[in-house]
Amino acid sequence: MTRLFNDPAAFADELVDGFVAANSAQVRRVTGGVVRSTVSAQESVAVVIGGGSGHYPAFGGIVGQGLAHGAAMGNLFASPSAQQVLSVARAADLGGGILFTYGNYAGDVLNFDEAQRQLRARGVDARTVVVTDDVASASPAEKHKRRGIAGGLAVFKTAAAASEAGYSLDEVERVARLANERTRSFGVAFTGCTLPGADAPLFTVPEGRMGVGIGIHGEPGIDETDVPTADGLAELFVSTLLAERPDGAGHRVAVILNGLGAVKYEELFVVYRRVAALLDEAGLTVVEPEVGEFVTSFDMAGASLTLFWLDDELEGFWRAPADTPAYRKGSIRAVAQAVVDAEAQIELVEISPASSESQAAAKTAARALDAIADVIDENADELGRLDAVAGDGDHGIGMQRGSHAARSAAVEALAAGAGVQTVLERAGDAWSDRAGGTSGALWGAALRALAAELGDDLAPTPRVVAVAVQSAKDAILAFGAVPGDKTMVDALVPFADALSREVDGGASLADAWTAASAAAATAAAATAGLLPKMGRARPHAEKSLGTPDAGAHSLALIVARIADVLKEN
């Protein structure tokens, strides 16, 4: 378990503070993560990686010369927000374009894609290569749906070395995609991991048993077996990966044997002894293998093996020197520390003028956000339990972080005289930024869509509120989920549609909202009979049968509590 912490909610921020203090020769802190503290070649491509904290050395530990230019670092096991990614990318930008590369998780995709959209709107060429190396998470026919685990190191290093070699953004993207296509990983776990302040691990594995294919966030595996010998594990790793040799692969491979946090280096070396022999027997030439910790999961006892199939170009990038806090290779030329203008990085955002009617509506919105934070606090443990059935169990924690941040932002904006649009915009940005992950992106988008319809000028009528909720629904649907996928959409669509019907029928806002919240509750409960088709629960859909979706359930709780606020208004 994680023993050393202060306030669990501050753990991620404090670990970044300490990490930067210990490694200031290579990294400096910016809002949302870290970037190189050293000078990089102007007009070159900036490689920006990222993901949730709790996986050190990923992601900040591999920022530095020869590797990433910046890392967006989200909260524990939660993707960074779009604001965090955008901040890191802008700080890392060298004028040659941005390449985002990160593991294929729904929250990361949503937030990095939004940051990419905003960069492009500002005239910055930004591209993305998503890492999909985990063979246990989807079939070869659906490898685009696979998770990214320790094989991300191969992709990150290839892209960064290509940038150092002066490649254009087109070429850096090309070789990063090739590296991803040539990378395969497979992992196991013997115990779960425990987040700071938690009284139980995210998942458990029975004593003497091994979870096969378990994800680095505690996602359930595809099988469970007795714990093998070290040689037996090596044989499982190698046979699994050799069964899926990439198209065009030759006889040269880079090898990464990764410990997930609690397996000791000595154990890894015993396993690698047999891995090396098996690869030799298969006629493969191993190029500069890596044995150690590269992507961890707090105190999870487990390991993964990665094979990165090389050609001449990829081998050159794999062998290229690097100097980062946690990864060093070869001899790299020392460069000067970058000079940073701190004031130039500060953006002031003013409060827009608002009518008295909109300011009155803003007070109601702030009370609603306060009620949301309260109901999430009351149900956080249950939301985590629901999410842990087939996911990673962090929905309650993420919703707490987001709702508390939204409440604080609303209070601050309200005190400055903001109208309802500005209050909800600030709340949405704060929710997205603090929560990260999928729920942060979704609730941030929903609140911003609501805000855009309500405005800062007039008192919102029931019809305007219903239209605003429909806009929020459309913003969520734009992320790709549809009714029946077992997501929050299954409760949101019935809620929004029922609200519109009730308002069109002449009901007051409070009465219409109450009726619509009942429809949401019914729909959320009905998700127990659905199989998930999106997100981390998808590969283990059958495990969630009989359990309602955590996102749909939290939405139903929220709209029911807002109904109480509207009745009192």
Query: Mind giving me the DSSP string for 515-535?
Result: HHHHHHHHHHHHGGGPPP-SS
Q: Give 343's pLDDT tier (boundaries 50, 70, 90).
A: very low
d(CA 98, CA 505): 51
Q: Under a CB-based contact definition with an 8 Å cutoff, are residues 218 and 192 in contact?
A: yes
Residue entry with tokens 């606020």: 565
The total of other beta-carbon atoms located within 10 Å of residue 298's CB is 25
- Is the model's pLDDT at 288 over the cut of 70? yes
133 inside domain: yes
Torsions phi, psi for 478 (to 5 deg): -65, -15
Say if residue 111 is in the same domain as residue 187.
Answer: yes
* Peptide bond before residue 59 is cis, with ω within 30 degrees of 0: yes
Q: Under a CB-based contact definition with an 8 Å cutoff, are residues 386 and 548 in contact?
A: yes
d(CA 505, CA 501): 6
Q: Specify the DSSP class assigned to residue 336.
A: P
Take residue 316 and report the two structure tokens written for it.
């050159």
d(CA 555, CA 433): 19
Say if residue 293 is in the same domain as residue 365.
Answer: no
347 inside domain: no
For residue 374, the domain's CATH number is 1.25.40.340
* Candidates 55, 69, 144, 217; catalytic one: 217
Say if residue 426 is in the same domain as residue 518.
Answer: yes
What confidence tens digit (pLDDT) does each residue in 178-236 have?
A: 999 999 999 999 999 988 888 888 888 999 999 999 888 877 788 999 999 999 999 99
Residues 6 or more apart in contact with residue 10 via CB below 8 angstroms: none
Say if residue 119 is in the same domain as residue 235.
Answer: yes
The candidate with the shortest Cα–Cα distance to 415, out of 405, 423, 425, is 423
198 inside domain: yes
Rg (CA), the chain: 24
Q: Under a CB-based contact definition with an 8 Å cutoff, are residues 6 and 15 in contact?
A: no
Count of alpha carbons within 13 angstroms of residue 110, beta-carbon side:
28
- Is the model's pLDDT at 536 over the cut of 60? no
Say if residue 379 is in the same domain as residue 513.
Answer: yes
- Is the model's pLDDT at 398 over the cut of 90? no
For residue 200, the domain's CATH number is 3.40.50.10440
pTM: 0.85
Say if residue 315 is in the same domain as residue 442.
Answer: no
The candidate with the shortest Cα–Cα distance to 544, out of 377, 395, 400, 372, is 395
What confidence tens digit (pLDDT) does each residue in 360-371 have?
A: 999 999 999 999
- Is the model's pLDDT at 348 over the cut of 70? no
Q: Under a CB-based contact definition with an 8 Å cutoff, are residues 552 and 523 in contact?
A: yes
Please identify, among 329, 348, 383, the residue that sits at the C-terminal boundary of a domain.
329
351 inside domain: no
In order of 43, 465, 499, 501, 518, the CA distances from 508 in angstroms are 58, 11, 10, 12, 16
Q: Is the dihedral of CA 404, 406, 407, 409 positive or negative?
A: positive
- Is the model's pLDDT at 344 over the cut of 50? no
SS3 248: coil
Please identify, among 314, 329, 344, the residue that sits at the C-terminal boundary of a domain.
329
Helix (H) or strand (E) holding 50: strand 46-53
- Is the model's pLDDT at 477 over the cut of 90? yes
294 inside domain: yes
Say if residue 399 is in the same domain as residue 255.
Answer: no
Say if residue 397 is in the same domain as residue 488.
Answer: yes
- Is the model's pLDDT at 531 over the cut of 90? no
In order of 35, 48, 133, the CA distances from 93 in angstroms are 10, 9, 27
343 inside domain: no
- Is the model's pLDDT at 540 over the cut of 90? no
Q: Give 392's pLDDT tier (boundaries 50, 70, 90).
A: low
345 inside domain: no
d(CA 286, CA 530): 46
Residue 394 structural domain: 356-568
- Is the model's pLDDT at 90 over the cut of 50? yes
% residues pLDDT > 90 (the chain) = 81
Say if residue 403 is in the same domain as residue 441.
Answer: yes
Q: Under a CB-based contact definition with an 8 Å cutoff, are residues 217 and 397 in contact?
A: no
93 inside domain: yes
Say if residue 158 is in the same domain as residue 99.
Answer: yes
217 given a catalytic annotation: yes
- Is the model's pLDDT at 255 over the cut of 90? yes
First to last CA, the chain: 46
- Is the model's pLDDT at 349 over the cut of 70? no
Query: Mind giving me the DSSP string for 356-415?
Result: HHHHHHHHHHHHHHHHHHHHHHHHHHHHHHHHHTTS-S-HHHHHHHHHHHHHHHHHHHHH
Say if residue 362 is in the same domain as residue 272.
Answer: no
Say if residue 410 is in the same domain as residue 531.
Answer: yes
Take residue 552 and report the two structure tokens written for it.
């749909």
Question: Tell me, what's the pLDDT at 217?
Answer: 83
Total count of domains within the chain = 2
Please identify, among 329, 348, 373, the residue that sits at the C-terminal boundary of a domain.
329
